Structure 1
Amino acid sequence: METAVKNLLKQERVAYILQRLEELYPETPVPLDHKDPYTLLVAVLLSAQCTDERVNQVTPSLWALADNPADMARVAVEDIQRVIRPCGLSPQKAKAISKLSQILVNEYHGEVPENMAALETLPGVGHKTASVVMSQAFGHPAFPVDTHIHRLAQRWGLTSGKNVAQTEKDLKRLFPRDKWNKLHLQIIFYGREYCSARGCDGTVCEICTTCYPARKHPKKTKKA
Structure 2
Amino acid sequence: MREELIEKTRWAHETLNEQYGVQDLYERKDPMRELIRTILSHRTTYVNEMTAYRTMMERFGTWEGVRDAPLNELIDAIKTANYPDVKASYIKAVLMAIIQERGEANIDFLHELTTEEAMRWLNRLPGVGPKTATLLLLFEFHKPVLPVDTHVHRVTQRVGLIGPKVSAEKAHTLLLSYLPPAAETLYNFHKHFFWHGQRVCTWYEPKCPACVLQSRCDYFQTGQTAKLSSTPQKATRLS
If the length of structure 1 is used for normalisation, what is the TM-score?
Answer: 0.81
Secondary structure at the counterpart of residue 207 of structure 1: coil
* 1:144 and 2:150 are equivalent in the alignment: no
Q: Which runs of 5+ in 1 are unaligned?
A: 1-8
Distance 1:15 1:119, change over 3 A: closer
Match of 1:14?
Answer: 9
Match of 1:186?
Answer: 192
* 1:95 and 2:99 are equivalent in the alignment: no
Secondary structure at the counterpart of residue 73 of structure 1: helix
Distance 1:104 1:67, change over 3 A: farther
1:50-84 CA-to-partner distances (Å, cap 9, x unmatched) read: 22332123222222234653332222222211111
**Which residue identity does 1:146 align to in structure 2?**
D
Q: State the 1:29 CA deviation.
A: 7.6
Q: Percent identity?
A: 21
* RMSD of aligned residue pairs (Cα, Å): 2.8
Deviates more, 1:181-190 or 1:140-149: 181-190
User: How many positions carry a matched residue from both structures?
Assistant: 211
More helix per residue: 2
Counterparts of 2:101 and 2:54 in 1: how far apart (Å)? 27
Match of 2:204?
Answer: 198
Counterparts of 1:81 and 1:29 in 2: how far apart (Å)? 33
**Which residue identity does 1:27 align to in structure 2?**
Q
* 1:121 and 2:117 are equivalent in the alignment: no
Alignment match of 2:179 (pick from 175, 180, 183)? 175
Distance 1:199 1:35, change over 3 A: farther
Distance 1:139 1:94, change over 3 A: same
Distance 1:35 1:77, change over 3 A: farther
Q: Which runs of 5+ in 2 are unaligned?
A: 111-117, 228-237
1:168-216 CA-to-partner distances (Å, cap 9, x unmatched) read: 2221121111111331122111211111111317x44413413249714
Deviates more, 1:206-215 or 1:46-55: 206-215
If the length of structure 2 is used for normalisation, what is the TM-score?
Answer: 0.77
Tell me if the contact between 2:158 and 2:217 (Cα under 8 Å) persists in the aligned partners: no
Counterparts of 2:61 and 2:139 in 1: how far apart (Å)? 18
